[in-house]
Structure 1
Amino acid sequence: MCGIVGLHLRDPQLYPRLGELLTGMLCEMSDRGSDSAGVAVYGDPRWSPPGKGTVSVLDVDDSPDQMAEALHAALGEVSVHRVDETLLVSADVAAETLHAAITAHYPHALIAGFGANVAVLKGVGHPKALTEAWGLAHAQGWQGVGHTRMATESAVIPAGAHPYAVGPDQCLVHNGSFANHATIRRDLRARSVVFDSENDTEVGARFVADQLARGRDVETALKELCATFDGFYTLLVSNHDSFAVVRDAIACKPAVIAETDEWVAMGSEYRALAGLPGVEKAVIWEPEPEVVYAWTR
């Protein structure tokens, strides 16, 4: 079943409340998926320090100090901040350079996300317990995306949890299933795309990342996804300055969008949005099939 939430803030006065608001939204979706959860937070200065590349890493046994020391020779000063199971690694280099150095030193690590603005946290367990362990309510920033998972087609492990953040400052979450993901995965692997899991959502994320790497914008990439993928899905895709939603041609997976002058929000159900400030004044609608709704900072 799974639950999706997303919040794109237009009013800078709300930036300090991003984590608080996102926590409430995500926890409202707990009964749509209680085996694992994840979030992508854009703009928190503790988790993704301004002017530095940041990589979110799982499945590393080293302590933060050990990891910083291991990477020092290649990168100079490195900051490693632990948030529950995730290590947030930052350095004064491009995120892609940092990503490459980490995978060279830790080839079995799971890269949960990377970029100049984003921190990705995900794990196995009930969403309420995970948000408390992350201290998500104290996060700040301009944009957040979250997902609660009810696993149907791949293992309940961190690599199977959403978000899938496989391109720089990019993130995708998904409710539904892709029927032809095996064929598309094979085609992407033929172009040397590497996968971390057997999750069908990762195929969608890698497809979108591939489209963006070719210079297409998010709206065009999602239209191409709709033309290529079969199945039932609601998707939310974000990057460093945008936030987009699309549903399949039948639109059987639920989604609600609300918009005010201060924010744009999306949830699998309205109750995820009901606690947002000023929601009583929002324009609220259900997205139409295969229409891409996108907003930019």
Structure 2
Amino acid sequence: MELVEVADEERAARLGMTGSPTVLIDGVDPFAVPDARVSVSCRLYRGLDGTVDGAPSVDELRSALQAAESRDCEAECSPVDTVGRGGRGRLAPVDGGLRAVQQAVLRHFAATGSTPDPADLEPRAAAHGRAATDVLADLAAEDFLALDDHGRIRAAYPFSAVPTAHRVRLADGIEVWAMCAIDALGMPDMLRTDAVITSADPVTGETVTVTSTGGRLTWRPSSAVVYLGQRSCTGPAADIACGALNFFTSRRTAQEWADQHPDFTGQTIPQDRAEVLGRSVFGSLLADSEPA
């Protein structure tokens, strides 16, 4: 643990400090809020219960550290690391307008439930001296999103442009499709909103529902789990993993599905680990974003 004193806004900008204290874990602010400005002023933190304090709570710090640990483990230990791009994360780099266009795509999905046309993205790309189609191609090449044969967006993790097994209803009534179970679990934290996730056990067809309220997730049935799997080949997550990242009503049905699909390798994980993985992969995608 390193304590860093920041005396001016230039250094605050370089470190990503948006008020004191700012906690960085592996260089990432796990408590970042949308549109927060660089600042050397005091910072306030709002807990899940609505209370405001001058620092994150012990429980919140512990949760953030566990999320970072899970992210590292997924990158180094797990056979399934495609969700987080092999530990590299889903947040596109700033260079070349990649992050600006990525975040514009995500906001459009969240606001409309559908994919944007390239023309809708031209202002973002033009601000970086590029065409939207070129930026989208670069994003697809690095698996920040996936394009169809006509260059249209078919997936912008965590969103899908076509129906999937995972439906997410946001607090404002917008309904979106998630690419997989982990993507669905990451949406409420990424968008800082309540949501209801509805999916179905691929073996029994029984409904699995996860309700996010104030950052807390409630699973029905209580025995539900997530299976993380992927094919042994290489390629974008949309093709080699998303079809094997599903909700199941129990470990028994998850194992039954795995036995029926030997072309996938993976593991069953409990609810708390699935939640941490969803938050760690997607929670920060819009935390440091340009104005819409």
TM-score by length of 1: 0.29
Q: Which structure has the higher relative contact order (CA within 8 Å, separation 6+)?
A: 1
Q: 1 or 2, which has the higher strand percentage?
A: 1
State the structure with more CA Rg. Answer: 2
